[in-house]
Structure 1
C-alpha cells in the first residue's frame, strides 16, 4: 500500500493536464500519481501515455461527474491517504510533507485542506476553499479568505493550522479508510457541494477536519463550469438542500429547510433584477428537483451524535445587511465562530 496517492479527475482536459501535470510530478516524489479519466473524448489519455508515462491512468466508464468519478476511481487506488486534486491546480514545493506529517501526528484528523490561492492572481485567496470552509445555520458555505464573491489578499492572516468544517474538493486530503467507511461522495450530487456533504458526515461520525497553511496550491477555478454558469447555480442550490436534509439535526430540520428556501427565493428575485433570468430559472429547477427526491433523502438520514455545525446564524445577513465582507470582521462581531 502506498503512503499517499495523488488522484486527478479529468474530463476533456488535455490542455489543463499539459499545463499543470508538470508541477504535480515535480513536487510529488512521495506520491503515486493517478489520472482518473471520465471517458474523455479528446486525446487526454493518449497525451498522458506519450508525455507522462509514469502516471497511472484509471479509465472510468463514463462522465460520471466529480462524485461518482472519484468513487469509481478510488476503488482501484491502494493508499493510506488520498489526495484528490483538480486538474487546474498548480502545486508547490513541499506541498505534501506538511499534510503527511499532520496525518502521522494527529491520528484523530481525517481530512485536511491546504491553503488555496488564486492561480490568476497569486496574492489572493481562491474562491473554492481559500483558507478553509464553514457553513451558516441555513447551509450557505463561506471560507476564511472568501465570503460570497469577496476574496481577501493573502497577508499571512491565515498562516495557521486550525480546525474547519469543510475542505475544498479542489484539493482534498482524506484517509482512505475514512473515505470508504463514509461511503465516499454522494453520487447523486454529480458535482458541487459533495465535499461539504462528505465533511459533514465525517464530523457527525466524530472525525476532525483541519486546514494546514504550510501546504500551498494555486487553483484556476471554474475550468469545468464557470462561476456564472446556470448549471452550476442549479447544482449548488439543489445539492445544498439535499445536504441539509441528510445532515441537519432532527430538531428544527423543517424550519431550517423552509427558511432556506425563502432565502433561495430572494436570491432568485435578485438574479431577476440583475437580468440573470437563466439563474432564476436554475433556482426554480433546483427546488422542483429537490421536491422530487426529498423523501428519498429523508431515508438517507442516519443516527448520529450531532455536533455544532454552524459558525454564524446567517452569513447572508452579515454580508448583505451588516456589510461584513471579511472573515475576521465576522469573527470579531458578536457571533459564535470557532477559529
Structure 2
C-alpha cells in the first residue's frame, strides 16, 4: 500500500522563507497534500499563499502557539495517517517522500523518522538540527550522526545507512499519527526547541521506534526563527533540556542528572562570560529559575505519562552511556563515529 502523507509547514510571519522554499516543497510533493499551519501571522504570508498557491490548505491557529502548540492544534485538521512536520526553511529534493513512505510500510513500529539533513548554506555539510539522526548521552546532552555540539562533518556518505536513533529532528519530522497521539503529542509547555526529542523519547517509551532514513535528503537553512547567537535560544535549550529529563527519566536518576547538570550548566555559563557573551550566561541562569518555578507542573505532566513505561537510558535506542561533553572537550574527540559504537 502506498500511503498519502500530509506535509505540514508551520508558519509565523515567514513570507520571505515561503517565497524561497515553498515552491520546491510543492514541486516535489505532488502525490501528497501540503498544508500550512499559520500561527497568527501579521505579515502578508497567508495572502501570498492564497494568491500564489491556492491548492495549499491553510489551517489557522488564531494565536502564536509556538512549534509545539501550533502543530498540536494544526494537526487536528489533518486526516492523513502520516504527516511530515516541515520547517519553512527546508529545501526538498525530487522523490524525497518516497523513501519515507517505503520506510513506514516496512517498519510498522516506526513512530517517527527523519531524512538526512544537510546545510543549505554549505550543502556538503550536515546541518546542526538533526544531521543524520539524533542521539543522547547519559546526562541528556543531544548530538547527531554528523554533528557533535557545534562541529559539523562533511557528508561523504559515511552515515547513509538507515538506523534506529533516539530522536528525529523537528526540522523535518515524519510521524505516524497513531504514535504521535499514543505518546501524548508535543508538549506545549516547551513552546519551542527540544520538543521533538521529548516526543521521540515518549514514543520509545510507548513501544515505537525512531529512525533516520538517509535515502531521503533535504537541505535546511537553520536559525530562521532563532539563530545560534540568540540568548532566547540558549534559554529555551537549557530550560527544556532539564524539563524533558525530569519528565522521562526514573525519579532518582532524574534528580541525580539534574544535580550534575546544575554544575555543568554553571561551567557553560562561565564559558559564555569568558567568551564575552554575558547575555547567554544570564539566559542559562534564567533557564534554571524557570525550570524550578515550573517543577510542580513538570511533576504533574510526568504523572500524566505514568501509563508509559519508565525506561532506563540503556534500554532505549540511540543512547550513549558515556559523556559526549567529556569526549568533545576533554578527549578532543569531535566526530560521532570516533566515540559512538
TM bin (shorter chain)? over 0.9
Aligned length: 331
Corresponding residue to 2:311 among 306, 309, 332: 306
Question: What TM-score does the superposition give when structure 1 sets the normalisation length?
Answer: 0.96
- Asked if the contact 1:205/1:305 (under 8 Å) is kept, the reply is no
Mark the runs of 5 or more structure 1 residues left unpaired by the alignment. Answer: 332-336
| Residues in 1 aligned to 2:115 and 2:83: alpha-carbon distance in whole angstroms | 14
| Residues in 1 aligned to 2:269 and 2:281: alpha-carbon distance in whole angstroms | 5
Deviation at 1:217, TM superposition (A): 0.2
Corresponding residue to 2:330 among 321, 328, 331: 321
Question: What TM-score does the superposition give when structure 2 sets the normalisation length?
Answer: 0.95
- Asked if the contact 2:8/2:36 (under 8 Å) is kept, the reply is yes
| Residues in 1 aligned to 2:253 and 2:232: alpha-carbon distance in whole angstroms | 30
- Describe how 1:1-339 pairs up with structure 2 within 5 A: 3-301=4-302, 302-303=305-306, 304-307=309-312, 308=314, 309=316, 310-331=319-340, 337=341
Moved more, 300-309 or 234-243: 300-309
- Asked if the contact 1:67/1:190 (under 8 Å) is kept, the reply is yes
Tell me, what secondary structure is at the counterpart of 1:122? coil
Superposition misfits of 4+ residues, deviation over 4 angstroms? none
| Residues in 2 aligned to 1:109 and 1:60: alpha-carbon distance in whole angstroms | 28
| Residues in 1 aligned to 2:296 and 2:26: alpha-carbon distance in whole angstroms | 45
Mark the runs of 5 or more structure 2 residues left unpaired by the alignment. Answer: none
Deviation at 1:253, TM superposition (A): 2.0
| Residues in 2 aligned to 1:295 and 1:75: alpha-carbon distance in whole angstroms | 28
| Residues in 2 aligned to 1:312 and 1:266: alpha-carbon distance in whole angstroms | 21
| Residues in 2 aligned to 1:200 and 1:261: alpha-carbon distance in whole angstroms | 22
Tell me, what secondary structure is at the counterpart of 1:124? coil
| Residues in 2 aligned to 1:298 and 1:257: alpha-carbon distance in whole angstroms | 14
| Residues in 2 aligned to 1:187 and 1:321: alpha-carbon distance in whole angstroms | 36
| Residues in 1 aligned to 2:228 and 2:186: alpha-carbon distance in whole angstroms | 22
Deviation at 1:305, TM superposition (A): 4.5
